[in-house]
A and B are shown apart, each in its own frame.
Chain A
Amino acid sequence: MAVIKPFKLDEVREALTALGVAGMTVTEVKGFGRQKGQTEIYRGAEYSTNMVPKIKLEVACADAVADRVVEAVQAAANTGAIGDGKIFVLDLGSAVRIRTGETDDTAL
């Protein structure tokens, strides 16, 4: 799972496709870390939005390629500025392909 800058999504998808990753789930999310939100001003009334729009990316992959997936996301989503996001690696208990009932690695 990774949280990245929205405009980096295409590059990350291309990098993962090149690695053979066959699918991903993308969600538009909001959050904050070190990067703070923008200040919006309407007729002088200032609203500081604490939350910054981000993209949450969920990719399930075999343990064997996990490191390379992490590297690819890290390289593709990097701009060098704060707010580039984070990558979290989680163990998945199991996976099932709904259409066929295949499980675990063959389901990915």
Chain B
Amino acid sequence: MVRAMRLAAGGAAGALATGAAWAQDAALQSPPAAAAAATVDKGDTAWMLTATVLVMMMILPGLALFYGGLARAKNMLSVMTQVGAVACLAMLVWVMYGYSVAFGPDVSSGLLSNFVAGLDKAFLSGVTPASQAATFTRGVEIPEYAFVAFQMTFAAITVALVLGSVVERMKFSAVMAFAAVWLTIVYLPVAHMVWAASGAFFKLGALDFAGGTVVHINAGVSALVAALMLGKRLGYPREPMPPHSLTLTGVGTGLLWVGWFGFNAGSALEANGSAALAMINTFVATAAGALAWMLVERARGHKGSALGFCSGIIAGLVAVTPAAGNSGPFGAIVLGIVASVVCYFAVAWLKPKLGYDDALDAFGIHGVGGMVGAVGTAIVYAPSLGGPGAVDYEMGAKLVVQVGAVLATIAWAAVGTAIAMTVAKALAGGLRPSAEVEHEGLDIGDHGERAYNP
């Protein structure tokens, strides 16, 4: 199932389905049955509102605690504040022009509409409590505001995820400048390409149920590029930089997992069987990922660790994101296990081997796990493996599409991040704080506070 983002003809939807609105619909790839007949179900609406706040819980406090606990005590507030502040920025960008650029009405240029939509819905122009957004079921729609808010939380968490690689050594001002540019030139076009009906990957039939490409590969690759441009933390890897509170990381992991049900099952856009399938997959792939990571640790001669448990959970969640409604439960389990094993080697072997400082492993888990998930989705989608694909599903062809979408996203994210970091450097007068501030910690240097006072 592909997320069909055909929006019901603008603000005038329902009551005033004008000729102009129909002409606009006709320009879309797959205009469904009469929009005028579409109904809004209260159950669907209630679920989407709930799912939206569940995703919000993933950011604050989920991701803030998860990342914060992994950082050193002197940077705890810096990490939590950066995560929260870029998420807030994303929300404002989203209602000002983000929603329109990602999901607004098509631009007249056919080529350009592969990458972005127009600005007709900037400042949510025309969006009213009565306007509606399409779901996957013909004749069933949800309030457009619910769709705007749900997608807003995705933009917010994605930009916050990127920060995982650059924390502890990037100035707050530079982080904010980076976030504004990155959202505009990376997140919005990629979201449009994958999820909007006129988007390039959507038209190719790329499968991405809840954001494996848009959220995780996008954030992970951007995180890697940003970390490479920023340089390593002072003392890395010579000095030990153990997490300051795996307790908080554990709490954050739990909040992320619970919130992820809103993220994945909410991406069904309805309260139905597809959402339930996404939910069960989000349970079992994650459970398998958690245990698999610990087993790999044992196989490598180490102790099964609490951080390994948490990391396996995140790897499983990331991998099942594109597959959530596109896989059977046992396909999801296999995906969770494979992602966990691959991510383990990405963070424990590849990272030290290549020597980059991805501080909290945003690339190692979100980027790598996202790639495993995106490519794996083409496999577990097959009906012969318990997936929901049609009987004539061609795995080979879909694999090509998935790999193509992954490679294109990698390229887009890498180039866009390089531009965003360069702009941020110019705007903020450098990306990094002074060596003294970095040594003392960004809590004091950027915010004038300490997380823990004796």
Interface residues of A (CB under 8 A from B): 40-45, 47
| B308 / chain A contacts, CB cutoff of 8 Å | 43
Say whether B352 contacts A41, CB under 8 Å.
Answer: no
Say whether A41 contacts B302, CB under 8 Å.
Answer: yes
Say whether A42 contacts B242, CB under 8 Å.
Answer: yes
Q: Which chain A residue shows the least CB distance to B361?
A: A43
Q: Which chain A residue shows the least CB distance to B297?
A: A41
| A40 / chain B contacts, CB cutoff of 8 Å | 242
**Cβ of A28 to closest chain B Cβ, rounded Å:** 14
How many cross-chain pairs have Cβ atoms below 8 Å apart between A and B?
A: 27
Query: Which chain B residues numbered 280 to 328 have a C-beta less than 8 Å away from chain A?
Result: 297, 302-303, 305, 307-308, 311
Q: Which chain B residue shows the least CB distance to A43?
A: B347
Interface residues of B (CB under 8 A from A): 237, 240, 242-243, 297, 302-303, 305, 307-308, 311, 344, 347-349, 351-352, 361, 364
Point out the residue from B303, B311, B352 that lies within 8 Å of A45, measured CB to CB: B352
Say whether B307 contacts A42, CB under 8 Å.
Answer: yes
19 A/B residue pairs, CB under 8 Å, sorted by A:
A40-B242, A41-B297, A41-B302, A41-B303, A41-B305, A42-B243, A42-B307, A43-B308, A43-B311, A43-B347, A43-B348, A43-B364, A44-B344, A44-B348, A44-B349, A44-B351, A45-B348, A47-B240, A47-B242
A97 CA to B240 CA in the complex, in Å?
A: 45
A43 CA to B305 CA in the complex, in Å?
A: 9
| B303 / chain A contacts, CB cutoff of 8 Å | 41
**Cβ of B313 to closest chain A Cβ, rounded Å:** 13
| A41 / chain B contacts, CB cutoff of 8 Å | 297, 302-303, 305
A44 CA to B240 CA in the complex, in Å?
A: 12
| B302 / chain A contacts, CB cutoff of 8 Å | 41
| B242 / chain A contacts, CB cutoff of 8 Å | 40, 42, 47
**Cβ of A11 to closest chain B Cβ, rounded Å:** 29
A41 CA to B307 CA in the complex, in Å?
A: 9
Counting chain A CB atoms within 10 Å of each CB, the highest count among B240, B311, B349 belongs to B240
In the complex, the 7 A-B pairs of residues with the closest C-beta atoms, listed nearest first? A44-B348, A47-B240, A43-B347, A41-B302, A42-B242, A42-B307, A47-B242
Q: Which chain B residue shows the least CB distance to A40?
A: B242
| A43 / chain B contacts, CB cutoff of 8 Å | 307-308, 311, 347-348, 361, 364
Q: Which chain B residue shows the least CB distance to A47?
A: B240
